[in-house]
């Protein structure tokens, strides 16, 4: 397997970092402005106030920003140039990582995203569990990336998401077998968990598509 590389300044990484800052509250603000500005603008035009035209034009800004998030920012297209990790990481994880992340920082990011949270609820592999086993040495990150590429391929996942990284972090831990045995889990259970998470995620996205 080729040596995995991580480009923190790739366009995909930059877009991911921007995307994670558009939280639910900001999206609500954008939606509200998209409605209020045109309505206010039309009202002012009816009242023969020229400022109304400006407000209608200004409404294009929140409308375009929301559509950008809804399209590219919310689901950043996966690249095909493996072993570039930044091309395969899910946007919610990628947007949290700095130039040379340590395994501990990767574990922190995983604990904040749905894939990591799914493993916490389903298997009891919590964010604290990952933080306790993850190294603080950035030299150990390459091993995590190598395992992540292998796990993604074995599970058939489109992205290296939080679920894939949870298993990759565990595989990178020298005493993972004894840890999993103590939790009455095996690696097959975790691989099945990744596939189940991917299935649930796909169903959720289909449901959202039908509503839009």
Structure tokens at 100: 């040379």
- Predicted pLDDT at 20: 75
Tell whether the model's pLDDT for residue 121 goes beyond 90. Answer: yes
Whole-prediction pTM: 0.78
**Mean pLDDT on 183-203:** 94
Q: 161's torsion region: left (phi>0), alpha (psi -120 to 50) or beta? A: beta
Task: Label residue 85 by pLDDT band (50, 70, 90).
Answer: very high
Tell whether the model's pLDDT for residue 82 goes beyond 60. Answer: no
Cβ count within 10 A of residue 207: 10
Omega cis (within 30) before 212: no
Structure tokens at 31: 């939606």
Task: Label residue 122 by pLDDT band (50, 70, 90).
Answer: very high
Tell whether the model's pLDDT for residue 1 goes beyond 80. Answer: no
**Mean pLDDT on 137-161:** 95
Q: pLDDT tens-digit profile of 26-65? A: 778 888 888 999 999 999 999 988 898 998 899 888 888 7
Q: Which residue has the higher pLDDT, 149 or 28?
A: 149
């Amino acid at each position: 397997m080729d040596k995995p590389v991580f480009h923190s300044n790739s366009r995909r990484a930059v877009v991911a970092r921007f995307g994670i800052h558009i939280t639910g509250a900001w999206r609500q603000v954008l939606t509200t402005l998209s409605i209020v500005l045109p309505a206010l603008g039309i009202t002012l035009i009816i009242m023969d106030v020229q400022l109304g035209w400006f407000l209608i034009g200004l409404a294009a800004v929140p409308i375009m920003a929301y559509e950008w998030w809804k399209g590219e920012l919310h689901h950043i297209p996966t690249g095909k140039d493996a072993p570039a990790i930044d091309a395969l990481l899910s946007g919610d994880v990628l947007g949290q990582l700095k130039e040379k992340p340590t395994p501990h920082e990767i574990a922190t990011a995983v604990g904040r995203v749905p894939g990591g949270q799914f493993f916490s609820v389903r298997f009891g592999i919590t964010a604290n569990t990952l933080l306790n086993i993850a190294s603080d040495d950035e030299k150990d990150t390459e091993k995590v990336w190598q395992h992540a590429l292998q796990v993604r391929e074995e599970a058939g996942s489109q992205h290296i998401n939080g679920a894939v990284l949870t298993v990759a972090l565990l595989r990178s831990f020298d005493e993972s077998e004894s840890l999993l045995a103590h939790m009455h889990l095996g690696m097959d259970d975790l691989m099945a968990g990744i596939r189940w998470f991917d299935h649930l995620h796909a169903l959720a996205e289909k449901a959202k598509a039908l509503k839009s």
